[in-house]
Structure 1
Amino acid sequence: MQIEVHKKLPRKKIEVSEKLIKHLEEYRVVAKANLTGVRASQIQELRRKLREKVEFIVAKNTIFRKAAEKVNKENLINFANELKGPSLFLFTNISPFSLAILLNKSKVKVAAKGGDIATNDIIVPAGNTGLPPGPIISEFSKLKIPTKIESGSIWIASDTIAAKKGEVISVELASLLSRLGIKSIEAGLSIGLAYEDGKVFTMEDLLIDLEKVKEDLKLSVQQALSLAVNASYLTPETAPQILVKAHIQALALAVEAEYPEKEALLNALKLAYIRASALAEKANFRFEETKN
């Protein structure tokens, strides 16, 4: 039996290595996903969702390094040497940034287990739990979750933060959250390291705040438009604003020059009245409006 096991292991490693080499040659991008805290069911679900875009291979880092040595790609060895911890390798032709966004959108809420780290503040909402009064009330008290009894059920008295982001979830809290039907852990794959066309990207490189990017783009467009209008640079977008600006400037010039044009004369009369009113106020003189 021992001899058979030893024969099978090398063959399996060879098969994985050959598959890694094939994928490294075929795909532009390879990413190492963090497996810590990830459940097998989540990986299977992601395989199903992303099968047309991403190939998944679980392999030891040592096997990946040996496979990388046989593939002639710039900086691939540097990427392989940076690998640490359990690895799930993702092969794709979409950019690492798009892959990171795709994985982030694929995250789901799952029930917490004792020892999990809270990915966000865990809030137990106020309201009817549907649970009958009994020994479980002491569990709420132990976890400092205020309760009251109404209509034969346990009610949460007020919204309560049961665990803050980054805190370890106790077995007791995980059990209570499960009974309340609260899925409190955001679970999914995240990229720890990625390689594309000779470039190596860290997790920090791939963290993009899409809302901030949108706001920055809006501001850049507004600033560019303002600059183009002030420089009288004609484009389909700036032409209307440039015409309005030119009209206002021409009208102001015509008013100052007392040019006999209908719109200019009306504005000139308004300006004259404003100036006369200001002068009269200084001289303590009141105009009387003439009535027809």
Structure 2
Amino acid sequence: MSQVSQRKRIYKAKLIRYLQDYKNIIVVTAQHVGSHQLQLVRQELRGRAVVLMGKNTMIRMVLREFVETNPSFEKFIPLVRGNCGFVFTNEDVKVIRDVITSNRIQATARPGVFAPNDVTVPAGPTGLDPGQTSFFQALNIATKIFKGQIEITTKVYLIKKGDKVGNSECALLNKLDIKPFEYGLEVASIFSEGAAFSPDVLDLTANDLVKKFFSAVRVTAALGLRIGIPNIASIPHSFSNAFRKLLSVSVQSDYTFEAAASFKEYFADPAAYKLAHGGVEEPVDAAGEKQEEKEQEPEEDDAESSEGGVCGMFGSDSDSDSD
């Protein structure tokens, strides 16, 4: 018992020292992560961060005592759940996160495990002898015998993400020597300077923050206009709407005010307004005038031709004189 108590005191002192020395804590989950893989992560983070694993009951007990003198860590206690560990660092959290998530190891499928990703079996030769055809038939996988071995004819979608892996799927993947899954430390949440947030926040850029800010401003302005309660975002729109209403009243009546004078002047005489404010008078379209002259000329030609036609029927004056 004395040795167990001594180990607990050492662990408690280590955890409290880490909580005091480091401002950033990355909470990671360690599902299907072995001690060798965890050691590789520790080696990559050496000098930049420290990894601490432990029992959740022990960690919560230490945190409750620590919160009495450091209330800002009260939000950290709910993050301690499941098979989790902690990475303490004072470096850039995003860089440390990338180091943690990049260390992954391929693993075989095991019965009863929930698939972290879709699993497919490619079409082609399997290297198995024809005596094992019944195994594929039990899984409804189309095969054929080619050059003395079993060949899968079409791509097989074996397991969907989130489904529980069965014994038959495991046996097939093991026969084909396929390691479909990759396991490693997964970042669950981040605690920094009294605030807890999702790791997705680390991927936000300045443009994303600006878009979200203006989206919130538009929603706030729309809400203020809808319920009739002005706020700093809706006031410019309220002034604009009020000005348009006053302007419409001024244009349709004799009432005027300084801001509406230019609008009324334009509606009264648009051409004069353009000339008075630097506009250019529209030139007369010479081509249009010529076109009108051309349209008038055929009428005169038609009249002359009609007169000539009458003279042709009864003879010209010269012909009558000669007669």
Report the TM range for the smaller structure's normalisation. 0.5 to 0.7
For residue 144 of structure 1, what is the aligned residue in structure 2?
A: 140
Is 1:175 equivalent to 2:171 in the alignment? yes
Separation in structure 1 between the aligned mates of residue 73 and residue 135 of structure 2, nearest angstrom? 53
Structure 1 position 198, deviation (Å): 1.0
Letter in 1 for 2:34: R
Separation in structure 2 between the aligned mates of residue 87 and residue 118 of structure 1, nearest angstrom? 19
Structure 1 position 148, deviation (Å): 1.4
Letter in 1 for 2:186: S
Structure 1 position 215, deviation (Å): 11
Indicate how the Cα distance of structure 1 residues 100 and 138 shifts in structure 2: closer, same or farther if over 3 A, else same.
Answer: farther
Map Cα deviations across residues 105-153 of structure 1 (whole Å, 9 max, x no partner). Answer: 3334322111121111101011112222223x22222223222111111
Asked if structure 1 preserves the Cα contact closer than 8 Å seen for 2:30 and 2:184, the reply is: no
Separation in structure 1 between the aligned mates of residue 131 and residue 60 of structure 2, nearest angstrom? 57
For residue 260 of structure 1, what is the aligned residue in structure 2?
A: none
For residue 223 of structure 1, what is the aligned residue in structure 2?
A: none
For residue 256 of structure 2, what is the aligned residue in structure 1?
A: none
Alignment match of 2:182 (pick from 178, 182, 186) = 186
Structure of larger gyration radius: 2
Indicate how the Cα distance of structure 1 residues 184 and 66 shifts in structure 2: closer, same or farther if over 3 A, else same.
Answer: same
Alignment match of 1:37 (pick from 32, 35, 43) = 32
Alignment match of 1:106 (pick from 103, 107, 115) = 103
Percent identical across equivalent pairs? 29
For residue 231 of structure 1, what is the aligned residue in structure 2?
A: none
Is 1:121 equivalent to 2:118 in the alignment? yes
Letter in 1 for 2:42: R
Indicate how the Cα distance of structure 1 residues 155 and 98 shifts in structure 2: closer, same or farther if over 3 A, else same.
Answer: same
Separation in structure 2 between the aligned mates of residue 209 and residue 171 of structure 1, nearest angstrom? 39
Map Cα deviations across residues 188-221 of structure 1 (whole Å, 9 max, x no partner). Answer: 11123331111122xxx213695xx57966x98x
Separation in structure 2 between the aligned mates of residue 47 and residue 84 of structure 1, nearest angstrom? 22
For residue 11 of structure 2, what is the aligned residue in structure 1?
A: 16
- Identify the structure with the greater helix proportion: 2
Structure 1 position 22, deviation (Å): 1.4
Letter in 1 for 2:44: K
How many residues are paired up?
Answer: 222
Alignment match of 2:191 (pick from 183, 195, 203) = 195
SS in 2 for 1:207: helix
Separation in structure 2 between the aligned mates of residue 141 and residue 154 of structure 1, nearest angstrom? 12
Is 1:207 equivalent to 2:203 in the alignment? no
Indicate how the Cα distance of structure 1 residues 7 and 109 shifts in structure 2: closer, same or farther if over 3 A, else same.
Answer: same
Asked if structure 1 preserves the Cα contact closer than 8 Å seen for 2:76 and 2:196, the reply is: yes
SS in 2 for 1:167: coil
Indicate how the Cα distance of structure 1 residues 145 and 45 shifts in structure 2: closer, same or farther if over 3 A, else same.
Answer: farther
Separation in structure 1 between the aligned mates of residue 114 and residue 139 of structure 2, nearest angstrom? 17
Indicate how the Cα distance of structure 1 residues 197 and 37 shifts in structure 2: closer, same or farther if over 3 A, else same.
Answer: same
Separation in structure 2 between the aligned mates of residue 133 and residue 70 of structure 1, nearest angstrom? 66
- In structure 1, runs of 5+ residues without a counterpart are 1-5, 221-255, 258-271, 285-292
Indicate how the Cα distance of structure 1 residues 122 and 47 shifts in structure 2: closer, same or farther if over 3 A, else same.
Answer: same
SS in 1 for 2:130: coil
Indicate how the Cα distance of structure 1 residues 209 and 53 shifts in structure 2: closer, same or farther if over 3 A, else same.
Answer: closer
C-alpha RMSD over aligned residues: 3.6
Alignment match of 2:73 (pick from 61, 71, 76) = 76
TM-score w.r.t. length of structure 2: 0.58
